[in-house]
């Protein structure tokens, strides 16, 4: 299949099939939806499945469940419900931090941080058929993540954020632009991304923007989701390698 291009569907992900640079083989680059909503349990006052359903009905196709203070049983129960709902609605669902819960819940993947299990350790738990994403906060961490089997790499915080108690230093869109030249792997930008600045993040080279507060804290989260999707659909992305 040398010199060919095409598309391969894997669950709710789409993979572009392209010749591998320098080898003449084939590699798969996963194409993420441009909007990635993180359902932070600390910011949600209604049943998490209720808000998730509203956002998916508004068009959301990529979401993650984050529950830092929940007990393992509480987190697993919620993750199971979210996984089932997401799959019913054709969305892709990740669990934050916990590959064991992602596996047990039937999620599509897990997202790990710098202090969690490594990408390869997480993949051993969730299995090869599920996806693993990883957070990075500077170029050094990003380059280390490139050497792993991570399906996507998150970088941030792009802007000042209040969604974390002790956030890492702001990296800005210039770092996104710099990192874009290093890889064809999907880059997810995260941290303080509001609707009015979402376009510039895509233009800098991010494949997807992760949003928490500007959607969960909106008077109408579903309406805000639609606004994000409409805005991101018209953003002109930076060229990949």
Residue pair 198/235 in contact (Cβ under 8 Å)? The answer is yes
Tell me the CB-side half-sphere exposure of residue 142, using CA atoms within 13 A: 24
Q: Has 66 been annotated as catalytic?
A: yes
Mean pLDDT for all residues in the chain: 89
Q: What percent of the chain is modeled with pLDDT above 70?
A: 85
- If you average pLDDT over residues 160-184, what whole number do you get? 89
The residue annotated as part of the active site, out of 29, 34, 61, 66, is 66
Active site residue 164: yes
Active-site position among 131, 135, 185, 208:
135
Q: How does residue 28 score in pLDDT terms, banded at 50, 70 and 90?
A: low
Instruction: Please state the φ and ψ torsions of residue 7, each to the nearest 5 degrees.
Output: -130, 140
Domain covering 32-233 in this structure, CATH number: 3.20.20.70
Which is catalytic among the residues 160, 164, 181, 194? 164
Inform me whether the pLDDT recorded for 23 exceeds 60: no
Catalytic residue check, 135: yes
Helix (DSSP H) and strand (DSSP E) numbers for the chain: 9, 11
Residues 144, 141: Cα–Cα separation, whole Å: 5
pLDDT, tens only, 117-154: 999 999 999 999 999 999 999 999 999 999 999 999 99
Tokens of 54: 């509203």
DSSP summary character for residue 45? -
- List the domain boundaries for the chain: 1-31, 32-233
């Amino acid at each position: 299949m040398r010199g060919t291009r095409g598309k391969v569907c894997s669950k709710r992900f789409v993979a572009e099939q392209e010749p591998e640079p320098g080898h003449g083989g084939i590699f798969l680059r996963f194409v993420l939806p441009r909007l990635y909503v993180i359902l932070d349990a600390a910011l949600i006052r209604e049943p998490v499945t209720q808000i998730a359903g509203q956002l998916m009905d508004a068009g959301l196709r990529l979401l993650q469940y984050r529950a830092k203070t929940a007990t393992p049983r509480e987190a697993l129960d919620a993750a199971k419900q979210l996984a089932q709902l997401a799959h019913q609605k054709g969305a892709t669902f990740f669990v934050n931090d916990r590959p064991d819960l992602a596996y047990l819940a039937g999620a599509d993947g897990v997202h790990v941080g710098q202090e969690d299990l490594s990408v390869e350790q997480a993949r051993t738990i969730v299995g090869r058929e599920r996806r693993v994403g990883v957070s990075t906060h500077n170029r050094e961490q990003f380059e280390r993540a490139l050497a792993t089997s991570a399906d996507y790499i998150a970088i941030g915080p792009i802007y000042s954020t209040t969604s974390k108690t002790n956030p890492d230093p702001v990296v800005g869109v210039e770092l996104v632009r710099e990192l874009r030249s290093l890889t064809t792997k999907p880059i997810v930008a995260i941290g303080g991304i509001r609707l009015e600045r979402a376009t510039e993040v895509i233009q800098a080279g991010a494949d997807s923007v992760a949003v928490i507060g500007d959607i969960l804290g909106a008077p109408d989260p579903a309406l805000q989701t639609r606004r994000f999707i409409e805005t991101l659909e018209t953003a002109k992305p930076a060229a990949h390698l």
